[in-house]
Amino acid sequence: MLLENRRLAYFIPNTFTALNMACGFSAILFAFNGQFYKACMFIVLGAIFDSVDGRLARMTNTQSSFGEQFDSLSDLVSFGVAPAIVYYLRFLTEAGRPGMVAAFFFILCGALRLARFNATIDKNKSDYFQGLPIPGGATAVISMILISISIPEILEYRALTVGYLLFYAVLMISNIPFPSFKKSDWVKNHKKQVLMIIFLIFASLFIYEEVMIPAIITFYVVASLIYYLTHRKKFEGIFDWAEEPESLSDSSL
């Protein structure tokens, strides 16, 4: 009985990971049918599932290497492949090969971002992400799509839409620090204020998601970039993963 409960505990987080991947797949299908709003909402739903699976694994003490790799593969589908395809179908079908390259570049940067995160997951102890997390990149991508639904004139500015996609792709593989808030002292010391902010964010998303999703991700990215540019000395060496050379370790034996 205990063994069965243990297996169930491992099964539940991976189920949410699979649901995240299913959302990415559904978003692609809706985009092919021209239902871009639904496609965007499924990517948002995937982000919710993605935030749940890790917490469940920590709560049930069922973290595993398999779960980490499965989560990364799911993230690549839902936040890399799906947003790129949806964005391509919305903006870049008439851009020819440059549009195809731009969409693939976003997927490539997302894959590199996830691979780098997995490779340094045991080394990064800071309160900052190295580069924009791939869910953030996906949110930025669907934000432009949501804006275009309300303002279809954006579809005519092809250079703008290509540049926007490339900009967020580069942010994902950059060394720019983006706050994770996981170990923030301010968050720990102001839990009531944090809960109120979270409530207001969810309430605003529920009322007018077409505007609030772009507003929130834009504020997060712009504020992070400004803070980085004005505090560059603070972040010197924060992502320095240099290890001891193998020759030195061998000479000490």
Specify if 39 maps to a domain: yes
Q: What is the pLDDT of residues 119-166, one digit of tens each?
A: 887 776 668 899 999 999 999 999 999 999 989 999 889 899 999 999
Specify if 97 maps to a domain: yes
Are the CB atoms for 85 and 30 separated by under 8 Å?
no
- At residue 251, does pLDDT exceed 50? no
The pLDDT score that the predictor gives to residue 253 is 43
Of the candidates 128, 220, 137, which has an alpha carbon nearest to the alpha carbon of residue 171? 137
pLDDT band with cut points at 50, 70 and 90 for residue 244: very low
Specify if 232 maps to a domain: no
Amino acid at 69: Q
Amino acid at 187: V
Mean pLDDT of the chain: 85
Q: What is the pLDDT of residues 135-144, one digit of tens each?
A: 999 999 999 9
pLDDT band with cut points at 50, 70 and 90 for residue 187: low
Of the candidates 71, 68, 64, which has an alpha carbon nearest to the alpha carbon of residue 6? 64
Distance CA(213)–CA(233), nearest Å, equals 31
Of the candidates 15, 11, 5, 10, which has an alpha carbon nearest to the alpha carbon of residue 62? 10
Specify if 169 maps to a domain: yes
Domain enclosing residue 102, as ranges: 2-126+134-175
Q: What is the pLDDT of residues 68-120, one digit of tens each?
A: 889 999 999 999 999 999 999 999 998 889 999 999 999 999 999 999 988 88
- At residue 1, does pLDDT exceed 90? no
- DSSP state string for 122-145: TT--SSEEES--HHHHHHHHHHHH
Specify if 147 maps to a domain: yes
Specify if 191 maps to a domain: no
pLDDT band with cut points at 50, 70 and 90 for residue 249: very low
Tokens of 67: 């779960």
CATH of the domain at 148: 1.20.120.1760
Report the percent of the chain where pLDDT is more than 90: 53
Least confident range from 177-186, 234-243, 244-253: namely 244-253
pLDDT band with cut points at 50, 70 and 90 for residue 43: very high
Specify if 167 maps to a domain: yes
Return the higher-pLDDT residue of 239 and 230: 230
Tally the domains of the chain: 1
Specify if 188 maps to a domain: no
